[in-house]
Each structure stands twice: as structure tokens, then as C-alpha cells.
Amino acid sequence: MKKCFSILKAVLLSAFVISSYSASAQTHAGDAKMNAFVSNLMSKMTLDEKIGQLNLVTAGGQSKTGSVVNEGVEGKIKSGAIGGIFGIYGTKYIGTAQDLAVKNSRLHIPLIFGLDVIHGHRTIFPIPLGMSASWDMGLIEKSARIAAEEATAEGINWVFSPMVDIARDARWGRISEGSGEDPWLGSQVAKAMVHGYQGSNMKNADAVMACVKHFALYGGAEAGREYNTVDMSLIKMYQDYLPPYKAAVDAGAGSFMSSFNTVNGVPATANQWLLTDLLRKQWGFKGFVVSDYTAVNELSSHGLGDLQQVSALALKAGLDMDMVGEGFLTTLKKSLKEGKVTQAEIDLACRRVLEAKYKLGLFDNPNKSINADREKRDELTDDNRKFARQIAEHSFVLLKNQGQTLPLKKSGTIALVGPLADNHLEMLGTWVIAGDPNKSVSVKEGIRNVAGDNVKVLYARGSNITDDSLLSSRSYFFGQKQPMDGRAPQVMIDEAVETAKKADVIVAVVGESANMSGESSSRSDINIPESQRDLLKALAKTGKPLVIVLFNGRPLTLTWEDKHASAILDAWAPGTEAGNAIADVLFGNYNPAGKITATFPRSVGQIPIYYNHKNTGRPFDGNGPAKFKSDYIDISNDPLYPFGYGLSYTTFNYSGVKLNKTSLKGNETLTASVTVTNTGKYAGEEVVQLYISDPVASISRSVKELKNYQKISLQPGEKKEVVFNITTNDLKFYDNQLKYDWEAGKFIVQIGTNSSDIHVASVQWDK
């Protein structure tokens, strides 16, 4: 390999001595060297080789998320017709493919290797929606860092993450892959993930390039139906949906993935305004853009023309790499001849792909991450598992805890029931490519590990995840099937009820299977599947305390559960250390502090439902006559659990909001504070949230917007003053000319434990 590296260097690097660059702090000198290197290389490339760099292929397997898989990959690598491969991992496979490229292609240009590393690689962390509920950017960044370490140990240098799409519709299965509904919080997560993946220098052997997706607005799919049309106002786009992508650009993300949907009428993948004017010219993005899976070809179904035409449109719009569909590979040459694209457009895209490889240090060492020792050593280590347990615990949200049912005592008898209680397969959640479910800890195992000998655990499965054959077949793919218990539903329920009768408390582990959410998993009904609700209803009738441990990739409608269960712990899909983390929280080794980042509706009919909505001209606040007000006649407007909500085993008391001034001018800073006291028996953490509203403005503003938070830790009886500094940056918004500024007037500062339970103070802020 060393020899091959020196040949490559000799051919490509000619006059340049490659020293250790800091990609994170690219100086002009660094840029100049990169430009000269890439120009020199491109001067030797044929048109076919340039177009080849724009071709991203998949080897299939679990990365197959469309109906097409590439063929003839080996020959294409050798002829220089492929710029990158995704969907393979492991030094053996990646090493072989990289060897083919650097030894057998004419110019020895290394391939880039991508993978959907979404929430961990071998060690799996909670699904992103769960991680965001931790409100802990340090932990989130570390999860991306560990994922990068593990993925690079298997030759990966590019990850299709973070997914930063804002989502306000729980029917959409991919809400599980993002950070919920809030643009400000989503931006913090986007930054943390990019930093974690790319590390201090993308040339490091343990750094990957992030690919921010899906640009843009994918989460706004109409009716929550997968791949559906998106149509929204520019103000909404700028104010609520675009900020996390912009934050990722500012954090230095190396690449972006275009989304499947339309943006302002034009599909994102061929949207020049989006990919060039906004992303590059306004935001200053310097990396490359890859399409989503066959999204270039799908432009034809969007109605933009045949493959040649849509490929030309996509390239001209600013798309650099074509994932799987090979529209670029098979049509760009012809389009160039016919004057439908220019040489400069092909060159620019090729340059951007080569620059990415340069920034990753692949021209220095194409095999920088192909290291069999690291592969053995760095995967699923004890430390990584320990961290997985920690972040899972921090992601859990206590939705209900009547009469302090939790934490459980480490004595007595527990009836452990539910199809997810003794289950490894469903612990990891959606989008897990290299994670091994057999290495995950089930809840049953976790309880055994943590509870100690004084706890007797009686187990009964109680039901299948679902008895609905359509739902079952659609939520298992890649050849998997729901492992079914062949007994009749009532027989299983009866067994569970008998088990429950012998116990002091019931722990029911229920909810969605891993792939009931995620890509292509939209649901029109977001209840816990019926077979499990029947089980819960029968268990509730026993009168025993009923603790629900919930698995879910989205907010679910839990009105029945909220009324009848004694406690509900939302565990999302916790990852490799699921069972240990759940048991830690059930038995009080860790006091839960997560807060939901997507509103939980009472009914699917309330969707889209989100905290930062507009007031409307006829708001209904629940008081007075409801007729002719903005509401429903059959349900309240309120969600079941509001954004930012989550309980603790302890209780926190908030003082009123104290302001340092009540009238300000220009660029002064306002300080707002509250004193939070731990009034309960347990030490605990609390996410203290700051919202601001702007009741009078030139456009209709959201009723409130999250602007900051602090996560604090308090011993029983301890109190802390939490101080927020507020500047005019926190008051800015996009007006109807899309000018981003603040307007003088009254503002209401709101601080509290969630978006609904807040303390307020007003201030006058003049220019």
C-alpha cells in the first residue's frame, strides 16, 4: 500500500509537498495549495474522468433505499467512472475497492467512501430525536465523535449525517432522524454533530466529512406522507426551517445532500436558487452537494423532463455528485456536445468533489482509515458502551409519574411484560447499518443487571408488536420479519394478566418497532399498535401500578396511556445499551431529565402541532365561549405534552423572572434570571428554557420562540440562580422582504420548565 501511495504521490503531487494542513482553519495559503493541486490534477483528466468523479454508486445491502442498485462497479472503478461508493464498510471491502481505484485507474484518484452513520456506527446511540431530548450538546457532539472513530476504523470517510430537517408532523417517519420541531435547538444540534464528525482536522485518520441533509425542507412533507410535496412561504422557510442547515454551514460542514422534495415549486435537486444562490452565494458554503438516492432521475417524475434534461438541470443548479442514478455518467457528455451544459459547469462540480478528497487527506493517503488493527481495537469498546449507556439515560423523558411510582424499589416482584421487554432486535432503532442487534442489551437483561437479588422478575410477552399484517410487513424490510409468537392474542394477554397479579408492579415495555419510523415509514395512525394497547388495557384492569416503558421513533398519541398508566418513561430507541440504561432509570441510579423536542398531540387530527405557532386573528385560549374561535369542536387545541416537557423524580420550583432593566435602547444587553430550587428528595438535572415573544411587529410573529436554555444540576434543597443574557440578536426575525432585523417595541421574556409552563416579564426595547 505504501508503494501505491508513493506512485500516487509521484503522479499527482508533482511539485507539492503535502504537509499537515489544518482543514478546520483553512488559511488562504492552504486554499491556494489545494486549488493548485486540484487544477494540476484536472489538467490531466479527460472529460470522462471528470464526469466519473461526479458518480456515486452503492453496493446495495442495507444502503439500498430505492429500487436501483449499480452494476459493473469494479469495471467502472478501474475506468475512472466512479468518484465514490457508499454502503460498504469494513477494511476488507473498502481496502479492495480503494486498491482498485488507486492502483488500476489511470490517474489513481482515490474514492470517497460514504455510509449512513446516523446515530453511531457499531456502538449505537439513541435515535437522533431521542438524543436531542437530552438537550446536552456535549454528549451529542461526543456521540458523533465516537461514531466517526468507529466508522473510520472501517474505512469510512464520509457520513450521511446530520439530518437537520425540522419536522412538525409526527406522521412523518423521518421525524425520528432529526432533532424535532425547533429551529434554534436544531441549529445547536447541527453544529455539535458537524464538529463531532469532522473533529479538529478532517485529515485526521479518525475524522469523517459530514453530509448535512436533506437540503431542504424535507420535514415539511404534506400530510406527513413520505417523499410528498413541500410548499411553504419564504418567511416560514427562513424563520423556521432553514436555520439548522445554515448553522451546519457555519460549523464548517464539508458536504450537503439535496432533498427529494420541491422547494418553492422546483425540486431541490434541480433548484438553482437553493443550491447556488442561497447555499453558496448567500451562506458561503464551500463544499460539495450530492443528490439523494436516484433523486436526479426522479426529477423526471417531478415533471422536469427526460434523464438527459434533468441531469443537465441538476448540474447547472449546483449539484455536484449524482447518487446511484448515473444520469450524470450517462448523459453529461452528450449534453456538453449539444451545448446543454458547459465545460465550466462540469469542471466546477469535479473540482468540488476533488477538493473534498483533498480536505480529507485522501491524496496524502488514500488508505488513511484502512487499518485492520484499529478495526479490531476501536469498535464497540467498553468505553463506547459506557458512553452509549450514559447518553441513552440522558435521552429518556419521564412523561408521567403519578404518586412517585418511579423509581422502583430494589425489592419485591416485578411483572415484566410486552413484546419489547425481551427483545434485542428493536433496541437499536431505525437507520442502523453496522450495529448488531445481538450485541444490544434487552430490557430484561438490563433489569437483571441492575435490580439486584432482592427483585424477583416475572416475565410474560403479552402480545406481538402488531397483529396487523400490513403494518407488520411495512415495518420490517431488508429481508427481516417480525418474530411472531404464534399463540392467540387473548392467550398471551391472559398469561400477562396472571403474571401481573403475582407482582407488586407491572413494567410494560411497548411501542413501535425500530422501523415503524424512519425512511418510508409514515403512519396515519400514531397510536401504540392495537395488539399492545389491548394488552395495556387488560393490565390496567388488574389495578396494579402500571409503568410503561415506551419505544417510539416519533411522538405518539398517548391519551389513553396518560390517563391509565401510573408512569410513562419515553425511551425512544435507546441503542446498544438500551436495557442497562432503562434499568438505571427505572431503579433510580439515574434521575431522568430529558425534555421532548417535538410536541406530542392528543390526536393525529391536531397535526401539524408545534409550540411556536402563530396567534391567528381568532385565538382560543380555552377561556370564554369557543364559538367562532380558532379551535376544534371535538378536542382542545392543547397538545398532550408540550415542546420542552419532561418530568424528574424530583421537583423544581421556579421563582418569577427578574430583569436587570425594563426598558432598553439599541445594543444594550438584557439579563433575565430565575431562581430554581430542587424541592424534592432526589438530586436532579433541569433544562431551564428561555423563550421570547414579540407581540407587536410588522408581520405576525410566533407566540413564542426558544432562544436559549441552561441545563443545571441541583441537590435536594439546593437552589441556583440561572441568568440569561439577551441581546438584540435574540429579537431578530425575517420580515416580509426577508430582511433579518429586530423591531422596537415590547417583548415578553418567558422562562420555565417547558414551553407551556413559564414565568414572564415584559420589557420595552427601543432603537
**What residue ranges bind ligand NOJ (CB under 6 A)?**
63, 65, 116, 160, 213, 292-293, 519
Q: Which is nearer to ligand NOJ, 229 or 660 (CB)?
A: 229
In contact, 703 and 613? CB cutoff 8 Å: yes
Compute the least distance from the CB of residue 218 to ligand NOJ, in Å: 8
Nearer to ligand NOJ, 116 or 355 (CB): 116
HSE-up (13 A, CA, CB side) for residue 166: 30
Considering the complex, state which of residue 117 and residue 548 has its C-beta at the smaller distance from ligand NOJ.
Answer: 117
Would you say how long the chain is, in residues?
Answer: 767
User: Which entry of 116, 165, 292, 570 is annotated as an active-site residue?
Assistant: 292
What is the nearest approach in angstroms of ligand NOJ to the Cβ of residue 520? 9
- C-alpha distances out from residue 153 to 94, 255, 508, 544, Å: 11, 21, 38, 49
Is the Cβ of residue 268 or residue 688 nearer to ligand NOJ in the bound state? Answer: 268
Q: At its nearest, how many Å lie between ligand NOJ and the CB of residue 213? A: 5
Cell of 375: 478495526
Q: Are 586 and 447 in contact (CB under 8 A)?
A: yes
Nearer to ligand NOJ (CB atom), residue 65 or residue 660:
65
Q: Which cell numbers hold the place of 686?
A: 433541569
Closest contact distance (angstroms) between CB of 67 and ligand NOJ is 12
Conformational region of residue 511, where left means phi above 0, alpha means psi within -120 to 50, and beta covers everything else: left
- Are the C-beta atoms of residues 371 and 127 closer than 8 Å to each other? no
Residue 387 C-beta: closest distance to ligand NOJ, Å: 24
Cα distance between residue 549 and residue 680, in whole Å: 23
Q: Considering beta carbons, is residue 184 or 293 the nearer one to ligand NOJ?
A: 293
C-alpha distances (whole Å) from 151 to each of 131, 165, 313, 566, 731 are 19, 23, 34, 41, 41
Looking at beta carbons only, is 256 or 590 nearer to ligand NOJ?
256
Residue 65 CB, nearest approach to ligand NOJ (Å): 4
The least CB distance from residue 163 to ligand NOJ, in Å, is 7
Q: Tell the smallest beta-carbon distance from residue 748 to ligand NOJ (Å).
A: 39
The rounded distance, in Å, linking the Cα atoms of 165 and 168 is: 10
| Whole-number Cα distances in Å, 242 to 215, 247, 307, 740 | 9, 9, 29, 13
Contact 566, 547 (CB under 8 A): yes
Name 717's bridge partners.
none
Return the number of the residue (188 or 294) whose C-beta is nearest ligand NOJ: 294
CA distances from 180 to 119, 125, 230 (A): 15, 17, 17
Cell of 708: 436559549
Asked whether 569 and 399 are in contact (CB, 8 A), the reply is yes
Residue 682 CB, nearest approach to ligand NOJ (Å): 40
Does the active-site annotation cover 292?
yes
Residue 184 CA: distances (Å) to CA of 180, 326, 403, 657 = 11, 37, 35, 22
Beta strands in 402-486 (DSSP E): 412-417, 455-460
Which residue's CB is nearer to ligand NOJ, number 290 or number 349?
290
- Parallel, antiparallel, or unpaired: how do β-strands 505-511 and 546-551 relate? parallel
3-state secondary structure of 50: helix
Cα dihedral sign, 559-564-566-572? negative
In the complex, the smallest distance separating the C-beta of residue 321 from ligand NOJ, rounded to whole angstroms, is: 12
Residue type, 361: G
Beta strand residue intervals within 561-694, DSSP E: 567-570, 652-654, 658-659, 663-665, 670-678, 684-693
Q: Please measure the distance between the N-terminal and C-terminal CA atoms of the chain and give it in whole angstroms.
A: 64
Between helix 137-152 and helix 183-198 the angle, nearest 10°, is 40
Q: How far is CA 681 from the centre of its chain?
A: 34
Nearer CB in complex with ligand NOJ: 60/745:
60
Kindly list the catalytic residues.
292
